[in-house]
Each structure stands twice: as structure tokens, then as C-alpha cells.
Amino acid sequence: AMYLLIEELRKINCTTLLTCETAGGKNDLSRFGVEEFLVDGILQVHFTPHNRALWVRKMRGTKHDTRVHPLSITDTGLSIDPKQEIMWEAIT
């Protein structure tokens, strides 16, 4: 069903943002194990008591930064500093 939904959205050239919660951890697959193979991009967000981080895990058809960056949530939205990097040990 999910494959059919994604294919129909692609046919009408619709940009879609799907969200999925996982148990946590760098190598965890998507919740049902298929979502990450069907979509073109995956942005993985991690929250700990001391850090918030964003990682572009996959972006099909384009080069992208593979480092983990600090993520801030402010009154004006999300802020990511591409010059700073967080080590996985700090967020897991």
C-alpha cells in the first residue's frame, strides 16, 4: 500500500514529506523496514537531553553532506550549522 501511495504521488509530481519514528540509533531501519527503500531522501533527527542533531542519511540522485550536524529549535524555526559537526557517540 505504501509503495502504491508513493508511486501515485510521484506521478503527479508531488513533493511529499513522510515521517516515521524508529527506536533510535544510527543503523536502525525504518519502522516497517521498507520505507527507506521507497523514498528518495531520508533526514534523520536525533534528540538526547543534551544534543539535537540532523543527519542526511540518504538523498537519491544528488550529492549531500554525510556528517551529523547540531540542530537547534528556536522561536523562528529550525537552525542547522553546517560548519559544526557532532560525533555519533555524543548523541547515542
Can you give the CATH number for the domain in which 64 is found? 3.40.50.300
Task: List pLDDT tens digits, range 75-86.
Answer: 999 999 888 888
Task: List pLDDT tens digits, range 14-27.
Answer: 988 888 877 765 56
| Domain that includes residue 9, residue range | 2-91
pTM, two decimal places: 0.74
- The mean-pLDDT minimum among 26-35, 44-53, 64-73 falls in 26-35
Number of CB atoms found within 10 A of residue 57's CB: 14
Using a CB cutoff of 8 Å and minimum separation of 24, what contacts does 53-56 make? 53/86, 53/90, 53/91, 54/80
Domain count, the chain: 1
* Confidence at 89, pLDDT banded by 50, 70, 90: low
Mean pLDDT of 35-50: 85
Residue 16: what pLDDT? Answer: 87
Residue 85: what pLDDT? Answer: 87
